[in-house]
Structure 1
C-alpha cells in the first residue's frame, strides 16, 4: 500500500518560507493499493495538489472524511475531477455529533463559492456508511473500521487494512479530552491502533501548550508518542502540525525525540512525502 501526504497542517493553511519544507496545506492523504485502487483521506487544501493523481483514473474516486470542520473540506472545490463529466465520486461523511453530512457540498452554495455544487458535471454521491469498530466494511481493496474520535462536534478515526498492511488515521483527536467530547479512553485508542504498520495521528501541541488549549480537540506530541508505544505500532507519523510551528522547530523536535530512542520508527509528516508499506 502506497501512502502519499498532500496536506499535513492543522487548522488553517500556512503558506510561507517558515513552513515550506513540511508544508502548509491542510489535511489530505491518498492511499493506493497494489492493484492501483485509491482512497482519499480528508479533503483539506492538500486535495487540490492530489488532483494530479486522478487525471487518468477511471475507477470511482472514494473520499473518506474524518469530520466536517473547514480545514478538512476546503480543498474540495479545487479538486479538478469534480469539473469533469463522467467522473464518479463517492464521499463518506464523518460520524459527527451534529448531523451535517452535506457540509462538503454546502460550501459550494449560497455566497460561499462562485460555482455551485449542483452545477458540477461529475456525479457525486454522499454515502452514509456505518463504519464500526468491530467489523470492517470493504471499499474496493480497502477494509475500513472506524471509531468516534475525541473532538468538538465529533468525527471518525479509521483503521484501514489493505495489501496485508494496517494503517490508522486519527487526525484532530484529543487523547485526553474534556467530558464534552471524551468518547473513548486512551486504553480504547491503544486497542484501536494496536500493531498498526503506520499510525497517522494528531500531534499538534507541546505539553506546555495543552494548559491553554485543553478541549480544543488536539493531542500533544508526547501523548501521541505514548500511544504509539502502548499500541505497539511499527511506524508513527506525527500529523496536523500547529499553524505556528516552523520547519526549524519541527526539525528540533525530531532531534529531541530521537534522543529518547523510541521503540518504533517515526517522522513528522511532510507535504509531498510518499512511502510504501510492505510485509
Structure 2
C-alpha cells in the first residue's frame, strides 16, 4: 500500500525456502516504512511445518534487513502461543532488527505524510 509518500507491505501466508530470500517479496518490501509479515513459526518449528504455507519471524528480519525496510510487524502468530512466548519472540526479533515489534489485536499505527515519494 502506497499513500502520502509512505509504503506499507503486507506479506501473509507465504512459505520461504530454507536459506533463501524470496526475490518477489524483496521487491515488494524494498524501502518500505513497515512490513507486516507472516511470523507463524520459528525456524526450529518450520522444519516440522513445511507445506503449511507460513513463515518465521527470523525470515522476516532477514528480508527487512536486505530490503532496507524500516519497520517489521510480526503478525499471523501461531494461536497456541502464550503472551509470554510472543514477548520473547518480540525481544529476539528486536535484537536482530531494531524496527521489529509484535502486532497485537486492536493495535493502531499512524504514519505522517511524507513529502518524499518512495517509488
Change (3 A) 1:201 1:258: closer
Aligned with 1:269 (options 93, 103, 108): 103
Q: 2:31 aligns with which of 181, 195, 202?
A: 195
SS of the residue corresponding to residue 276 of structure 1 reads: coil
Bigger helix fraction = 2
Superposed CA RMSD: 1.6
CA displacement at 1:253 relative to structure 2:
1.5
Contact 1:176 1:219 in 2 (8 A): no
Q: How do 1:76-155 and structure 2 match up within 5 A?
A: none
CA radius of gyration, larger in = 1
* Aligned match of 2:117: none
Which residue does the alignment assign to 1:246? 82
The answer to which structure, 1 or 2, has the higher relative contact order (CA under 8 A, 6+ apart) is 2
Go from structure 1 to structure 2 and tell me whether the alpha carbon gap of 1:272 and 1:245 turns closer, same or farther (over 3 Å shift): same
Deviations, residues 237-273 of structure 1 (Å, cap 9, x unaligned): 011000111111011112223334x2x4111110111
CA drift at 1:228: 0.8
Distance in 2, matches of 1:196 and 1:229, equals 11
Which residue, out of 5, 15, 18, partners 1:174? 15
Tell me how far apart the structure 2 counterparts of residues 201 and 268 of structure 1 sit (CA, whole Å).
10
Q: TM-score, normalised by structure 2?
A: 0.85
Question: TM-score scaled to structure 1, two decimals?
Answer: 0.38
Partner residue of 1:214? 50
Partner secondary structure for residue 267 of structure 1: strand
Aligned 8 A contact 2:73 2:102 in 1? yes
Q: Is the 2:2–2:8 Cα contact (8 Å) retained in structure 1?
A: yes
Change (3 A) 1:276 1:205: same
Structure 1 residue ranges without an equivalent (≥5): 1-159, 178-184
Structure with the higher strand share, 1 or 2: 1
